[in-house]
Amino acid sequence: MNETDLNSDLAQRERIRYQWMLSRIQGFKSLVLAILVAMMGYVANNIGSVDSYSVLALLSVSAILLLVTLVLGALDAGGAVFYNEESQNGLSKGW
Give a yes or no: residue 94 inside a domain: no
- Total count of domains within the chain: 1
Return the pLDDT at 81.
47
Q: Do the Cβ atoms of 83 and 67 come closer than 8 Å?
A: no
From the list 68, 70, 69, 46, the residue with the least C-alpha distance to 58 is 46
Flag whether 70 is in a domain: yes
Residue 75 belongs to domain spanning: 3-87
Return the pLDDT at 82: 46
Q: What pLDDT was estimated at residue 90?
A: 62
Residue 79 belongs to a domain: yes
Q: How confident is the model at residue 87, as a pLDDT?
A: 55
Task: Using CB atoms within 10 Å of the CB of residue 37, give its burial: 0 to 12 exposed, 13 to 18 middle, 19+ buried.
Answer: middle
Please give the model's pTM, rounded to 2 decimal places: 0.57
Calpha distance 19→14 (Å, rounded)? 9
Domain presence at residue 41: yes
Does residue 93 sit within a domain? no
Residue 92 lies in a domain: no
pLDDT tens track, the chain, 95 positions: 677 777 888 888 888 888 888 778 877 878 888 888 888 888 878 777 888 888 888 888 888 888 888 888 777 766 554 445 555 566 555 54
